[in-house]
Amino acid sequence: MSDSTVKKVSSKTAPRGTMGQTYLVSGKRLSMRLWENEQPQTDLSRPRDYETVGYVLNGRAELVIEGQTIRLEPGDSWLVPAHAEHSYRILEPFTAVEATAPPAQVHGRDEVKA
């Protein structure tokens, strides 16, 4: 019997989120998304109810988390624990891959909330 949970997702046809993210692949407990060529900006500080790990492919950004500012450059990886107050400041066009657990896009976890 073959495993029916194996998935392949092309970033060209993957769904896009309201904040510009591309949802790559998602399992029951983990998902992956792509932030591609994000332009310089600063987002609002907020906690999320999922854990995030990421890896920078291109560009530079700052992660402001729980009173610390962490500079992110190509080759860097980072962790944002669930419920940690944080924001990102994109300094130059930025591309990164993130994994979230549980999946960010399930149950509206990844929607922009006013």
Share of the chain above pLDDT 70, in %: 89
How high is the pLDDT of residue 62?
98
Mean of the pLDDT values across residues 34-55? 94
Domain annotation covers residue 35:
yes
In this prediction, residues 30-40 reach a mean pLDDT of: 95
The CATH number assigned to the domain holding 70 equals 2.60.120.10
Residue 36 and residue 46: Cα distance in Å, rounded? 21
The yes-or-no verdict on residue 113 having pLDDT over 60 is: no
Total domains in the fold of the chain: 1
Its domain, for residue 58, covers 17-101
Residue 93: partners with Cβ closer than 8 Å, 6 or more residues away = 37, 38, 39, 40, 58, 59
Q: Is residue 3 in a domain?
A: no
pLDDT in tens, 91-112: 999 999 999 999 988 867 776 6
Contact 24, 17 (CB under 8 A): no
User: Which pLDDT belongs to residue 99?
Assistant: 97
* Residue in 87, 89, 98 with CA at minimum distance from that of residue 55: 98
